[in-house]
Amino acid sequence: MSESASTGSSGEGTKQIPGLEPTDAPGATDAAGREAAAESGTDGLEARPAPGRSDASDSGSAERHGSGLGGKALAGVALAALGVVFGDIGTSPLYALRTVFTIDDGAVKATPDDVYGVISLMFWSITIIVSVKYVAILLRADNNGEGGVMALAALARRLYGKNASRAAALLVIGIVGVSLFYGDSIITPAVSVLSAVEGLEVATPGVSHLVVPIAAVILTILFAAQRFGTARVGKLFGPVMLLWFAVLAVAGIGSIVKDPTVLRGLSPTYAISFTVAHPGITFVAMGAVVLVITGAEALYADLGHFGRRPIHRAWFFVVFPALTLNYLGQASLILNDPSTRSNPFFLLMPEWARIPVVILATMATVIASQAVISGAFSLSAQAVQLGLLPPLNIRQTSEKDGGQIYLPAVNLLLFLGVMAVMLTFRSSERLATAYGVSVTGALVVDTVLLLIVARRLWNWKIWHLVVAAVAFGGLELTFLAGNLSKVIHGGWVPLLIAAAVIMVMTTWRRGRLLVMEERTEQEGSLEDFIAKVQAHDIPRVPGVAIFPHPNKDTTPLALRANVEHNHVLHERVIIVSAITVGVPHVPAAKKYVWDDLGYAHDGIEHLLIKSGFSDDPNIPAALQQACVADVLDLSPADIEDASYFVSRGALRPSRGPSMVRWRKKLFVALAQNAANPAARFGLPPHHTVTMGSDVDF
């Protein structure tokens, strides 16, 4: 194969539409596409970058990431961030303080020392973990503008080179973090919506038996609506959450004014004295105190959508003050009337306002649930790109925002999980005991990765790392230990979910690598294959044959099978690689890269098709456009009559020692339920042939 063919340069034999460098596509994409090929026994037609990420051609990336925004624009983005980023942590006042004072049959008393101690623990937990760790530090650790545990793990792997054992360890840490997030994604909608609807028990006690059915209906509607996206209703999220935080602050201030002594709880000395006086009770209480920081990871995970400055402004100017005031107001209420600890949030409200607040709280919790569900969609799409999950059907629900995606399979699994835990626990108080394990586990994972990244990214000295490890890690490990004591009381739920996700991801990754090795051996070099075709003078038949394939270096299995079994080759053979980039639309001038591979006289060529996330990923339509643009010296009619050959062979588990047999069967089951590439890319059924050979692994 000629040098130009192997490198994809734009020299002789390569027809490149101006504005698209070949290195944009095959380099990193070949590996991703080849891994996708191994995943389901197909050719892996597309490699799709993580949703929400823009390349250099996206002129709006700076604005979306919050850099260079003026006053009004920055305020607008910060308002939008309120509706997406802070929904989870913003609804914690519904159940956090109540859980602390009802845990272990009221181990924490409604005495001044206990109330001040708990409020101090809550305030300083929010300050240290959210304000310092996430907002002040972690938001600066972006991976090409993206945040979240997978982005942080990828950043760590890039900073520390290509050491195989180190990269594997960092990948395992990332898998654990993602797995714990899935547990959070299932419990958050159930506990938040239940806690809001339970306000009816305070406003109208006679309808308490309807709480679970009403919550079930709300959650069913929420998940059913995911297919339509949130582009339209999403515009209301920010104003609704702004109203929510205003209500939190006003209600809190009203109670504080009646008893300003509760402000003493802001002093760290009360947290210390409470811990010294009641170490056992403090240990148990910490398992519930952690509920005030649920959703902290979302601050970092949504970095790519909003940027550091808008999140920073929204937190310090709106969310943090409102949460602090409301927790202080609830504490003041409990001090003056210990009986209110059964539901201090709704009892804090005037009687006339309770029904409206129940409605507002329900809206806020639906928004919080939407944010977590969207986060699960994004993480799942990232996991597909990293080869940790099989190819999934990914639908774009917004013409402008790459982060607005819908994954039917993930949505269904989340819905079933949410309904199962809600109908099992049937109250937010019981669910809250199971909630903390996934939250604290994710916090610890982020801290471990932060310490790894900070050493190389910001050149932190050893003493900096020690201080951070003690301040963040020490507090989070205390939270984790307090929650592990509740494993038998429901904490096993997120652990079971995480274990299942870890098993699926590790099985898929290992099986994919085994299949990829076998497929690579079967495919062989395209250069060697063409030399063999030339040597044996294979007959050529009229027409155009199109072979979707992730790269131009190896031979599509369908191409090899066609020659070996039919002993013919079409006059024109086009190997097509398709990729999707993080911009809404790719103009025609930047859409194609054509390469004759050095075999122009043999009629074998390669075409790269680059599409935006809002473009229709239809390969036949793209090929016709390439003909019109003179990228291919064919007519649209030639493409209409073309035959498509998809490489797909059955996966057969062997008895080799590479992986236990039951995990191989799990891998095959996952592969059989992966997205069908022929349907996803619009290949005409009557012109598509599936060929290939079975893969033993």
Q: Can you point out the beta strands (E) in 349-474?
A: 395-396, 405-406
Reported as a single tens digit per residue, the pLDDT across 401-422 is 656 778 999 999 999 999 999 9
Give the dihedral of Cα atoms 338, 339, 344, 347; nearest 10 deg.
Answer: -120
Cα 199 to Cα 358: distance, rounded to the nearest angstrom: 6
pLDDT at 254 over 60: yes
Residue 606: predicted pLDDT: 92
Cα 176 to Cα 465: distance, rounded to the nearest angstrom: 22
Q: Which of 28-32, 348-352, 550-554 has the highest mean pLDDT?
A: 348-352
- Average predicted confidence (pLDDT) for the chain: 83
Residue 382: predicted pLDDT: 75
Cα 189 to Cα 368: distance, rounded to the nearest angstrom: 7
pLDDT at 556 over 80: yes
Average pLDDT over residues 144-151: 80
* Closest residue by Cα to residue 195 from 369, 439, 376: 369
Selected residue with higher pLDDT from 696 and 325: 325
Reported as a single tens digit per residue, the pLDDT across 590-632 is 899 999 887 767 789 999 998 876 677 789 999 999 999 999 9
Residue 483: predicted pLDDT: 83
Cα 310 to Cα 78: distance, rounded to the nearest angstrom: 4
Residue 63: band (very low, low, confident or very high) from pLDDT cuts 50, 70, 90:
very low
Residue 582: predicted pLDDT: 60
Q: Which of 52-61, 156-165, 222-231, 438-447 has the highest mean pLDDT?
A: 438-447
CATH of domain 61-490: 1.20.1740
Q: Which of 24-33, 132-141, 325-334, 535-544 has the lowest mean pLDDT?
A: 24-33
Both tokens of 160, joined, read 């520390």
Residue 30: predicted pLDDT: 37
Residue 136: band (very low, low, confident or very high) from pLDDT cuts 50, 70, 90:
very high
pTM: 0.78
**Residue ranges per domain, the chain?**
3-50+517-696, 61-490
Cα 123 to Cα 286: distance, rounded to the nearest angstrom: 13
Selected residue with higher pLDDT from 484 and 234: 484
Residue 527: band (very low, low, confident or very high) from pLDDT cuts 50, 70, 90:
confident
Helix axes 408-425, 164-197, angle to 10 degrees: 50
